[in-house]
Amino acid sequence: MDFSSIQRIWLYLFDPVGQNVIIGIVCVFLLGLIIGYQVRRRKAKRVKIFSREGDDSFFKGIQYMLSNDHDLAIEELTKSVKLNSDTIETYVALGNLYRSKGDIDRAIRIRQTIILRPNIDEENKIRALIDLGLDYRKGGFLNRALEIFLEVLKKRPSNLEALEEAERLYEKMNDWENAFSYRQKLSKLIDGNHSHILAHQQTEAGKAWIIKGNQGRAKSAFQKAISLDNKCIDAYFHLGDLFFEIKDFKKAITAWKKVVRIRPEFTFLVYRRLEGAYSEMKNLKPVEDFLRECAKFNSDAFTHLALARYRYNENDLKGALRELEKAIKLNPLFSEARGFMAEILLAQGQRDQALDAYRELVNFLDVPHHEFQCSNCGYRSSDLKWQCPQCKKWDTIDLMDSGKADSSSVRSSEKLFLESSTDTPEKIP
């Protein structure tokens, strides 16, 4: 720029027209700044109001969740995400609510929306994947659920929740080898004794091999279960059953007798098995010795009932009745013992005494034969289960009352007594 140009600009600044133009430009600039500031302020205020309203709806939704009013909780949380769509926690809460209500499709769509967000951090993505897996599991899509948890484990091999869910799914799908593998991984991450769980999983694998007809693999699985936990009585039961099937009766008896030493309260499960084995060996005398020993150290109604059966099979009807009287004295609710007594009296021609026994029996027909309860969650069942169906814990099911009986094992009315008064009961194997 030369001197003449500078001189012209200088003169223009002192010219009244030039000054007016400059003042106008400055005023327009300042006015623009003021208008822009007001617009930004109003926008920020509006966003703040929406954010506050969204937060209020979020907190209301959480309060409704805590009070188990899921419909109102969904209404408030839906309002919250409309006002503020950036809060992932709200979407997570909504997805959980839809899952709890059984609306799995909506829950899944919400998780997928979270996962597909472009700027989502890794932790939130992992959480959304786990929630998606839980949704699939709740909906019964077990294979999809398993795929999701395995995807999580590729990213985070030590994620406990994904490991536990994968193990749970493998158990549900009866894939006991993989369930065993994942329990081994968990045992390295969670303190405590896992041997009883590993032993049960090996036992279940052995049962699966028996169904497939592979006795060799089944035997190895049962023996491995016992090596993992020498108190796993389910493994002893099935190992004994396997030996019985291949007619190795001595090994079968040895396996079954281990149960008596480990868990005396489950001795009643051994009686019939021993009878069957000794019958095959043409020598029932050891059964009497075994039962007498059990009666001496573990005198319960089941032991005396088993002795009554043995004496009945030996044609000692009076001895059988004496044992049944002992069983009923120990547990008056034992309807199986009462029913057996009535049958023996009827076989002896003692119709009046038999009729009295049946009349007493009628009062106990609704009493379950055995009742088991989970010490962890309180689940009750008339069947013995090694894993609680409700809380999925192993070895928490215990016998509640060894004298309670099952009405299905006895005749249940005076009418049946009158109709069968000429029948003779068969010998009990």
Residue 389 lies in a domain: yes
SS3 229: coil
β-pair type (397-399, 380-381) = unpaired
* Pair 394, 228: CB distance under 8 Å: no
Residue 6 lies in a domain: no
Q: List CB contacts of 123: < 8 A, sequence separation 6 or more.
A: none
pLDDT of residue 18: 57
Burial annotation 63-98 (CB, 10 A radius, 16+ → b, else e): ebbeeeebeebbebbebbbebbeebbebbbbbbbbb
* Burial environment of residue 371 by CB neighbours within 10 A (0 to 12, 13 to 18, 19 or more): middle
Residue 378 lies in a domain: yes
pLDDT of residue 331: 76
- Per DSSP, helices labelled H in 348-413 are 351-362
pLDDT at 393 over 60: yes
Helix or strand (DSSP H, E) at 273: helix 271-280
pLDDT at 295 over 60: yes
Angle between helices 271-280 and 249-262 (to 10 degrees): 160
* Pair 133, 165: CB distance under 8 Å: yes
User: Position 179: which residue type?
Assistant: A
SS3 sequence of 304-351: HHHHHHHHHHCCCHHHHHHHHHHHHHHCCCCHHHHHHHHHHHHHCCCH
Residue 383 lies in a domain: yes
Residue 375 lies in a domain: yes
- Of all residues in the chain, the percent with pLDDT exceeding 70 is 67
CA 43 to each of CA 6, 51, 221: distance values in angstroms, whole numbers, following the listed order: 45, 12, 70
User: Position 234: which residue type?
Assistant: D
Q: List CB contacts of 245: < 8 A, sequence separation 6 or more.
A: 215
Q: Which residue has the tokens 């379950």?
A: 368
Residue 380 lies in a domain: yes
SS3 372: strand
Distance between the two ends of the chain, CA-based, in angstroms?
A: 122
pTM (global) more than 0.75:
no
Residue 83 lies in a domain: no
Tokens of 10: 């200088």
* Pair 76, 112: CB distance under 8 Å: no
The string of pLDDT tens digits covering residues 296-316 is: 666 677 778 888 887 887 788
Q: How many domains does the chain have?
A: 1
Residue 184 lies in a domain: no
Q: Which residue has the tokens 């968990």?
A: 186
The string of pLDDT tens digits covering residues 199-249 is: 999 999 999 999 999 999 999 999 999 999 999 999 999 999 999 999 999
Q: Which residue has the tokens 């001189």?
A: 7
* Pair 396, 374: CB distance under 8 Å: yes
Q: Which residue has the tokens 């720029």?
A: 1
CA dist 312 and 75 (Å) reads: 70
Q: Which domain holds residue 380?
A: 370-403
**Residue, of 46 and 139, whose pLDDT is higher:** 139
The string of pLDDT tens digits covering residues 1-52 is: 555 655 565 555 555 655 555 665 655 555 555 555 554 555 444 444 344 4
The string of pLDDT tens digits covering residues 81-104 is: 554 555 677 777 788 888 888 889
